[in-house]
Amino acid sequence: MLHELALRAELVRKAYETFDYKSVVATLSAFMNSELSAFYFDIRKDTLYCDPPSSLTRKAALTTIDLLCDSILKWLAPILSFTAEEAWRMYRPDAEPSVHLTLFPEGLEKLRDDKLAAKWETIRDIRRVVTGALELERAAKNIGSSLEASPVIYVADRDMLATLFDTDLAEICITSNYEVREGEAPANAFRLDAVPGVAVVVEKAVGTKCARSWKISPTVGEDAEYPDVTPRDAKALREWKALGASF
């Protein structure tokens, strides 16, 4: 997302230089709708809501969101002057008294990472196939929420398979679990013509539904103090409880 933000920074700055306000709004609207709302926030909400306060992943997401919010508010301020001002005062009440006294963000070009972006293009292609398979299962009423699923993802291309080495596709596809297998898929697997070499068979997730994250996992109940949640959620509840006691 920070790479994508850096790309928008260049577009927004060029648009402002030519007084092309329409392009500023179009660029930022598309970014917020397609990249943030429909993708990043949809995936990261589990981490933000359910991870313990000590989670590095959660802290990284909060840092990313801080950079996103800071940049977008400053870019929109000349156009949505009153709305951006109100949002700025809520977002940073102890910073500059007005968003209109700030400057556009500098140095975002350092966040560009074309190699990482190419990797995520592959991951998002695979996610599209999984999402398509899940939609068919939902339409057939075999599952309700995507968290009821544990997709088996067949990848024929070894280079594409290597891209997934350190990727949690359950998190990215918003399922409770997943499995990746190398090779050709069964004939009944779901495929997309636009993403050759990838096919998905949707299986149901095994385990008990976590009362906190709603993920289905065999690890629910392993923590005796919090028997209706996963160990991850039990750790989070324990940390939040300790933080509450310290106030």
Fold classification of 114-206 is: hypothetical protein PF0899 fold (3.30.2320)
Quote the CA–CA distance of 7 and 121 in Å, as a whole number.
15
pLDDT (0 to 100) of residue 247? 42
Which phi and psi angles does 194 have, rounded to 5°? -75, -15
Q: Extract the tokens encoding 163.
A: 């891209």
Is residue 190 over pLDDT 80? yes
Quote the CA–CA distance of 82 and 71 in Å, as a whole number.
16
Quote the CA–CA distance of 235 and 228 in Å, as a whole number.
13
Average the pLDDT over each of 55-59, 94-98, 228-232 and give the range with the smallest value: 94-98
Is residue 36 over pLDDT 80? yes
- Mean pLDDT along residues 156-184: 93
Summary count for the chain: helices (H), strands (E): 9, 6
Dihedral over alpha carbons 70, 73, 76, 82 (to 10 degrees): -160
First-to-last CA distance in the chain?
A: 34
pLDDT (0 to 100) of residue 245? 56
Residue-range domain boundaries for the chain: 2-111, 114-206, 216-246
Q: Extract the tokens encoding 217.
A: 């996992």
Which phi and psi angles does 220 have, rounded to 5°? -60, 130
Quote the CA–CA distance of 119 and 155 in Å, as a whole number.
15
**Closest among 95, 42, 58 to 73, alpha carbons compared:** 95
Q: Extract the tokens encoding 161.
A: 């398979």
Fold classification of 2-111 is: Isoleucyl-tRNA Synthetase; Domain 1 (1.10.730)
2-111 shares its CATH topology with 114-206: no
Is the Cβ–Cβ distance between 15 and 24 less than 8 Å?
Answer: yes
Judge if pTM exceeds 0.85: yes
pLDDT (0 to 100) of residue 243? 84
Contacts (Cβ under 8 Å, ≥6 apart) of 145: 214
Residue type, 177: N
